[in-house]
Amino acid sequence: MATKKEKPVVCAILAAGQGTRMKSQTPKVLHKLCGKPMIDHIVQTTKKLEPARVYLIVGFREELVRQFFGDGVYYITQSQQLGTGHAVLQARDELFGYKGDVLVLYGDVPLVTEATLRSLLDRHRETCASATLVTTRVKNSSGFGRVVRNRSGRIVKIVEEKDATPAQRRIREINPGMYCFEAPSLLDALTEVGASNKQQEYYLTDVIEVLVKKGKKVETITTADEIEILQVNTRKHLAQVNRIMHERVLERLMNDGVTIIDPKTTFVSETVKVEQDVTIYPFTYIEGYTHVGAGTIIGPQTYITDSVIGSNVVIVMSYISSSIIRDNSRVGPYSHLRPEAIVGENVHIGNFVEVKKSVIDDNSKVNHLSYIGDAKIGKNVNIGAGTITANYDGVKKSETVIEDGASIGSGTVLIAPVRVGKKAVTGAGTIVPKSHDIPPNAVFAGVPARELKPHEQNS
Ligand code: UD1
Ligand code: CA
């Protein structure tokens, strides 16, 4: 963002609070919205402004927040949560000597948009203010700090709801918590903020009054958007914001040519990419880094996360995680694809089939009631109903290989490690002991499996 004329900007996002009103052992900012922690939405939005740094002020169970972002942001610890002003003050060493701007945001206001932050920054720079903040006029101002102005309309201070007089409570212009400060003015003012208020906290909002009293320039921009400023203080808020985020994603998808049969019961995360002419039936979740190819039909009642789904695939009533399904395949109803299931083109995975860490290559079929784990299944293989790859001997997992064109009879148990050769056949109910590989083109049956000679094969 820093060009020759512009001052640099860093972002500080407050994420140290427990979020008492959430009644949770998880820090509030890690509660998920649209499939990812609420703080991640804010961090990703601020990163669009290309700030020199993004600082997260962390405290309550900070290890969890650090674990989520890793090296993607800078951390500042606020060991005791003594208020939003105290939180920002913890950045004083980091910001010491820094003459640029600081964008300060709260970690519980996840719908904030890049456009609003840009207008805030632009206004701040145009007016060369010491502080600029967003304000919003709302119908219901409860839960927000109120913006107090003088007769000539200049901002005087922000009053927290708990400290407001009845007249101040009636003010409809609120503080959504999006600020841009000149760093030295911010640090200077913060040292003058006390905690003699109802909550006995050091309020960041008091910085405004301090700056005004010092004769510093404080500017505001007023947005009309009542949605963007929604904060998450309670689980009810979490559900409301989650709903709004999903609606936004679905609207974008519909604009891009995706059919959503019932937006009220369909949940697609922001991170999901969906191509044209995909149809999503009700009661379906698609989350994580999932890609869905053109013309695919998903649902009803399907859950997919972190998976790559090809074009013209049909997935009905199934649960799929960290898997790949290539073009023209059919999955379900009632299939479970666990991590590292790789399904080729034109494959059929049918009802009550579980696949884990296995490859099922093109044109193969596993239509009914089977478990395929740690297996490599070639092309044009037919797996009969009730086939089990017994991959676990109680100590270690072993691999089953079924080569191209093989046909596995119903109820076959393949005790791994074992290999079935090309075009080999097993009869119904065969139990193949471990390491008893079946050669190509052979027909095996029985318990334990033995080779059937041609004259025995039709019995
Ligand atoms: C704050 C504002 C209020 C504004 C509202 C907008 C103050 C004093 N009040 O109130 O004017 O209308 O947000 O959403 O700033 N946090 C810390 N350390 C702390 C305290 C809080 O990091 O010591 C973090 C929290 O984790 C949270 C954010 O700051 O992400 C906001 O704190 P919260 O307690 O929700 O502030 P509000 O009472 O909602
Ligand atoms: Ca809040």
**Quick check: is 349 in a domain?**
yes
* 329/382 same-domain check: yes
| Residue 231 near ligand 1, beta carbon < 6 Å | yes
**Quick check: is 459 in a domain?**
no
Per the DSSP assignment, residues forming a β-bridge with 182 are 101
Q: Rounded to whole angstroms, how far apart are CA atoms 358 and 217?
A: 64
* 224/251 same-domain check: no
* 123/248 same-domain check: no
Q: Cβ atoms within 10 A of the Cβ of 166, count?
A: 6
**Quick check: is 1 in a domain?**
no
* 423/440 same-domain check: yes
Q: Rounded to whole angstroms, how far apart are CA atoms 65 and 451?
A: 59
* 387/262 same-domain check: yes
Which residues are part of the catalytic machinery? 368
State residue 224's pLDDT score: 82
Cβ-contact 298, 280 below 8 angstroms:
yes
CATH number for the domain spanning 260: value is 2.160.10.10
Among 21, 79, 84, 108, say which to mutate for ligand 1: greatest number of ligand atoms within 8 Å of CB. Answer: 84
Cβ-contact 452, 434 below 8 angstroms:
no
Range 230-241 average pLDDT: 97
Q: Which ligand number lies closest to the CA of residue 144?
A: 1
Picking from 229, 264, 293, the residue at the C-terminal end of a domain is 229
Total domain count, the chain? 2
> Residue 157's closest CA among 213, 208, 228?
208
> Beta-strand (E) ranges in 36-190?
36-37, 54-58, 74-77, 101-106, 131-137, 145-149, 155-159, 173-175, 178-182
Q: Is the pLDDT of residue 160 over 80?
A: yes
* 288/337 same-domain check: yes
Q: Which ligand number lies closest to the CA of residue 17?
A: 1
| Residue 110 near ligand 1, beta carbon < 6 Å | no
* 173/208 same-domain check: yes
CA-closest residue to ligand 1 atom 35:
233
Q: Is the pLDDT of residue 4 over 60?
A: no
Range 38-61 average pLDDT: 97
Q: What is the pLDDT of residues 339-352, one digit of tens each?
A: 999 999 999 999 99
State residue 7's pLDDT score: 84
Cβ-contact 219, 153 below 8 angstroms:
no
Mean pLDDT of the chain: 96
Q: What is the pLDDT of residues 370-412, one digit of tens each?
A: 999 999 999 999 999 999 999 999 999 999 999 999 999 999 9
Residues with Cβ within 8 Å of residue 457, at least 6 apart in sequence = 443
**How many angstroms separate the alpha carbon of residue 21 from the centre of ligand 2?**
10
Q: Rounded to whole angstroms, how far apart are CA atoms 328 and 317?
A: 17
More confident residue, 19 or 47: 47
* 216/250 same-domain check: no
**Quick check: is 140 in a domain?**
yes
Among 11, 14, 76, 106, say which to mutate for ligand 1: greatest number of ligand atoms within 8 Å of CB. Answer: 106
**Quick check: is 313 in a domain?**
yes
Residues with Cβ within 8 Å of residue 373, at least 6 apart in sequence = 354, 355, 356, 357, 358, 389, 391, 392, 397
Going edge to edge, which strands form the sheet with 303-305? 266-268, 284-287, 303-305, 319-321, 335-337, 353-356, 371-373, 388-390, 413-415, 431-432
The pair of structure tokens assigned to 348 is 């059929």
Q: Rounded to whole angstroms, how far apart are CA atoms 299 and 178?
A: 40
Indicate the pLDDT class of residue 437, thresholds 50, 70 and 90: very high
| Residue 364 near ligand 1, beta carbon < 6 Å | no
Q: Which ligand number lies closest to the CA of residue 28?
A: 1
Indicate the pLDDT class of residue 194, thresholds 50, 70 and 90: very high
Which residue segment(s) compose the domain that 250 sits in? Answer: 235-454
> Residue 335's closest CA among 348, 354, 322?
354
> Beta-strand (E) ranges in 107-177?
131-137, 145-149, 155-159, 173-175
**Quick check: is 278 in a domain?**
yes
State residue 6's pLDDT score: 75
> Residue 2's closest CA among 74, 72, 99?
99
**Quick check: is 348 in a domain?**
yes
Range 164-176 average pLDDT: 97
* 199/267 same-domain check: no
Residues of the chain with pLDDT > 90, as a percent, come to 95
CA-closest residue to ligand 1 atom 5:
144
State yes or no: cis peptide before 300, omega within 30 of 0: yes
* 50/84 same-domain check: yes
Query: Three-state DSSP class for 365?
Result: strand
The pair of structure tokens assigned to 397 is 């997992």
State residue 18's pLDDT score: 87
Picking from 179, 205, 229, the residue at the C-terminal end of a domain is 229
Q: Is the pLDDT of residue 204 over 50?
A: yes
* 168/33 same-domain check: yes
* 245/218 same-domain check: no
Range 215-220 average pLDDT: 98
**How many angstroms separate the alpha carbon of residue 63 from the centre of ligand 1?**
20
Q: State which ligand 1 atom lies nearest to the alpha carbon of 86.
A: 23
**Quick check: is 47 in a domain?**
yes
Q: How far is CA 76 from the centre of its chain?
A: 24
> Token match 């309550």: residue?
60
Q: How far is CA 23 from the centre of its chain?
A: 22
State residue 459's pLDDT score: 58
Picking from 208, 229, 250, the residue at the C-terminal end of a domain is 229
Q: What is the pLDDT of residues 249-287, one digit of tens each?
A: 999 999 999 999 999 999 999 899 999 999 999 999 999
CATH number for the domain spanning 186: value is 3.90.550.10
